[in-house]
Amino acid sequence: MGQPPPARMLIRSYTDMTLRFGEAERAPHDGDPLTTFVFKTLYSANTRHLSYIAAESELLGQVGPPAAAALAQRRALLRPVSVHAVAQSLNLPYETVRSRTQAMMAKDQVERVSGGLIAVAGLQPEGPFADAVLHSHAVIVDSFRALKALGFDFAAHAVPAVASGPPPPGLVVRIVQDMTNRYTEALGPVFGGILPLTIWGGAMRANVRDLMADPEMAWRYAGQDEPPPNHLRKPVSVRALATELRLPFETTRRHVAIMIERGWMAAVPGQGVITPVEAVGSDGLGRVNTQLPGLYGRMIGDLTRVGFDLEAL
Residue range 138-150: mean pLDDT, rounded: 86
Percent of the chain with pLDDT over 70: 86
Res 4 pLDDT > 50: no
- What lies within 8 Å, CB to CB, of 166 at 6+ separation is 307, 308, 309
What was the pLDDT predicted at 290? Answer: 72
Tell me the residue length of the chain: 313
What would the 3-class secondary structure string for 245-283 be? HCCCHHHHHHHHHHHHHHCCCEEECCCEEECCHHHHCCH
Local structure of 126: helix, strand or coil? coil
- Band of residue 11 on the pLDDT scale cut at 50, 70, 90: low
Q: Which of 228, 238, 275, 202 is nearest to 18 (CA)?
A: 202
What was the pLDDT predicted at 85? Answer: 95
Give the pairing of strands 266-268 and 272-274.
antiparallel
Report yes or no: 7 and 37 within 8 Å, Cβ to Cβ: no
Q: Which amino acid is at 84?
A: H
Return the higher-pLDDT residue of 188 and 131.
Answer: 131
Reported as a single tens digit per residue, the pLDDT across 208-222 is: 877 766 767 666 665
What was the pLDDT predicted at 6? Answer: 53
Q: Which of 292, 294, 2 is nearest to 147 (CA)?
A: 2
Report yes or no: 50 and 60 within 8 Å, Cβ to Cβ: yes
H or E element that contains 144: helix 128-149
Reported as a single tens digit per residue, the pLDDT across 228-280 is: 788 889 999 999 999 887 788 998 999 999 999 988 899 999 999 999 988 76
Report yes or no: 233 and 274 within 8 Å, Cβ to Cβ: yes
What was the pLDDT predicted at 112? Answer: 97
Reported as a single tens digit per residue, the pLDDT across 149-204 is: 877 788 888 899 987 789 999 999 999 999 888 888 777 777 887 888 888 888 98
Report yes or no: 99 and 106 within 8 Å, Cβ to Cβ: no
In angstroms, rounded to a whole number, what is the distance separating the alpha carbons of residues 100 and 36?
Answer: 9
Reported as a single tens digit per residue, the pLDDT across 71-125 is: 888 999 999 999 999 998 887 889 989 999 999 999 999 999 999 999 999 998 8
What was the pLDDT predicted at 106? Answer: 97
What was the pLDDT predicted at 285? Answer: 66
